[in-house]
Amino acid sequence: MIKPVIVIMLIIMISACTPCYPPPPTEAGIPGNSMQNIVQGGEFAEKDGWVYGSIYNDIRDKNSDVGVREYRLVKWNTNTKKIVELGIKHSANFINIINDKIIFVDGPKDTVYSCGLNGENLKAVNEYVSGPIIIDEWMYYRNYKETKKISICRSRIDGAEYSELVSRNFSVENELTLTCYYIHDGWIYYAFSSWDPNRSSLMRVKTDGTQNSEVIKSTGTPPEFDITRIYPLKDKIYFIANNKDVYSMDYDGNNIVLFDKIQGANNLYFAGDRMYYEYNQNIYSFNLTDMKQEKITSFKTNGLYVVGNQIYTFYPGNDSIINIHIGDNNEYSIYELKLPFKEFIKLN
């Protein structure tokens, strides 16, 4: 009888606070990339006006349907649109740029690679690293090497001084999943999801592994309230529940607000007074001041990444990157970068 009571209490709290939208958020940067990009896959990173990312080409045998996906790491200048291939055939995920080195993850063992800004001196430096966030020369990440537990760990980039900060046992019965984590102001905020309502919660722990505590409990088993993305920003924690509903709340778990004008969101990105989100393979802009939203794309998209005033996404199943430039008056110029990486093609 406990679970229905908790659900009702949460619904009352959200309904009461719905008109009280919070002010536009801000985010402290991290050295290697935007935290918001990293938690969404880290497909792109920027340094000194150059954006780094990977693109793929499906190479198929003319006599069969069997194909090989070939990835290439490239960089391009956001002003001149000059494109440079780096000679690295890897799918670069969770890109961090630290001390003039590109750090990225690829491969079935979640291998960490390091190379120079022009692709030189490529080498593997660590493995079994998922979602690395690099701050003050520490790398924070999920470790899936052990199949019986789920851990948030930290180490140096090469794996030295390894320690587990958070660890929970995993089994098929409890279906426990670490859905997301995010570092803000010396704290790691993370969410575990499970069909057991007593095991689903939003937690936080200091980056040295101390003061592990609960921020908010789940209101029950999915789909009632299952946190799938979290964004702790300056004044509020924003999060996505049930893979679609957008909320904000205070850092103590109070004043939960449902953004009921947003019909659904797979991921979020905050920039200035705008919240960008992807829903049903399209990208939208939501103004946090006047609560108006706008559909930016008229074509299907796959992913949402923001670098400076540039949005990046992919055509689903196509060998191209879409670049959406945000102008001073929030107008949008849309470009396509596709093989063989010779130029950006303006689409609007």
Question: What stretches in the chain show pLDDT beneath 70?
Answer: 1-31, 57-67, 146-147, 170-177, 193-200, 217-225, 317-319, 339-341
Taking the C-alpha atoms of residue 31 and residue 99, their distance in angstroms, rounded to an integer, is 9
For residue 170, the model assigns a pLDDT of 66
For residue 192, the model assigns a pLDDT of 73
Average pLDDT, the chain: 77
Query: Which residues neighbour 163 within 8 Å (Cβ) at sequence distance 6 or greater?
Result: 153, 154, 155, 209
Please classify residue 343 by burial: count the beta carbons closer than 10 Å to its beta carbon, then call 0-12 exposed, 13-18 middle and 19+ buried.
middle
Radius of gyration (C-alpha) of the chain in whole angstroms: 21
For residue 122, the model assigns a pLDDT of 95
Quick one: which of 130, 68, 122, 137 has its CA closest to 105? 130
Q: Give me the percent of the chain exceeding a pLDDT of 90.
A: 14
Beta-carbon count within 10 A of 340 CB: 10
For residue 160, the model assigns a pLDDT of 93
Domains observed in the chain: 2-39+71-303 (2.120.10.30)
Structure token digits, residue 170: 């995993």
For residue 270, the model assigns a pLDDT of 84
Taking the C-alpha atoms of residue 268 and residue 131, their distance in angstroms, rounded to an integer, is 17
Q: What are phi and psi of 78, to 5 degrees?
A: -70, -20
DSSP code per residue over 28-52: ---SSS-HHHHTTT--EEEETTEEE
- In the beta sheet, which residues pair with residue 134? 139
